[in-house]
Copies of this chain bind each other. A is one copy, B any other.
Amino acid sequence: MPAVPRPCRWRDPLAAYLDPSSGRTWPIETPRWCGDEGQPLLLTDLPGIGRDAIDPAAPGLWRYAAALPFRPREPITMGEGRTPLLPRRLGGVDALLKCEWLMPTGSFKDRGAAVMLSLLRDQGVSAVLEDSSGNGGAAISTYAAAGGMRARILVPDSTSPAKTVQSRAAGAEIQLTPGSRQDCAEEALRQGRDPASGFFYASHNWHPFFLQGTKTLAYELWEDLGFEAPDAVVIPCGAGSNVLGCDIGFGELRRAGAIVRLPRLYAAQPAHCGPLARAVLGLPPEPPRPTIAEGTAIAEPIRPREVLAAIRRSGGGAVLLEEAEIAEASLALARTGIYVEPTCAQAAAALGKLAAAGAVRPGERVAVVLTGTGLKATPRYAELLGLDAA
Given A165-B381, A389-B161, is A334 in contact with B145 using a C-beta cutoff of 8 Å?
yes
Does A58 count as interface, using CB distance less than 8 angstroms? no
Among B169, B331, B388, point to the contact of A339 (Cβ < 8 A): B169
* Chain B residue nearest in CB terms to A164: B387
Does A385 count as interface, using CB distance less than 8 angstroms? yes
* Chain B residue nearest in CB terms to A373: B375
Contacts of A91 in B (CB 8 A): none
Cβ of A348 to closest chain B Cβ, rounded Å: 14
Q: How many copies of this chain are found per oligomer?
A: 2
Binds B, one of A101-109, A184-192, A257-265, A358-366: A101-109
* Chain B residue nearest in CB terms to A79: B84
Given A84-B59, A160-B389, A389-B161, is A142 in contact with B339 using a C-beta cutoff of 8 Å?
yes
Identify which of residues 331-375 in chain A touch chain B, using a CB-to-CB cut-off of 8 Å: 331, 334-339, 373-375
Does A8 count as interface, using CB distance less than 8 angstroms? no
Identify which of residues 53-107 in chain A touch chain B, using a CB-to-CB cut-off of 8 Å: 59-60, 77-79, 82-84, 86, 99, 102-106
Contacts of A388 in B (CB 8 A): 161
Bound form: Cα–Cα A244–B337 in Å: 27
Cβ of A174 to closest chain B Cβ, rounded Å: 10
Identify which of residues 219-233 in chain A touch chain B, using a CB-to-CB cut-off of 8 Å: none
Contacts of A86 in B (CB 8 A): 77-79
Cβ of A75 to closest chain B Cβ, rounded Å: 12
Bound form: Cα–Cα A387–B162 in Å: 8
* Chain B residue nearest in CB terms to A84: B79
Cβ of A88 to closest chain B Cβ, rounded Å: 9
Does A166 count as interface, using CB distance less than 8 angstroms? yes
Among B143, B170, B339, point to the contact of A105 (Cβ < 8 A): B339
Bound form: Cα–Cα A265–B298 in Å: 50
Does A376 count as interface, using CB distance less than 8 angstroms? yes
Does A146 count as interface, using CB distance less than 8 angstroms? yes
A160-B389, A166-B374 given. 9 additional CB < 8 A pairs?
Answer: A78-B338, A104-B337, A105-B339, A142-B339, A146-B337, A162-B389, A166-B375, A169-B334, A169-B384
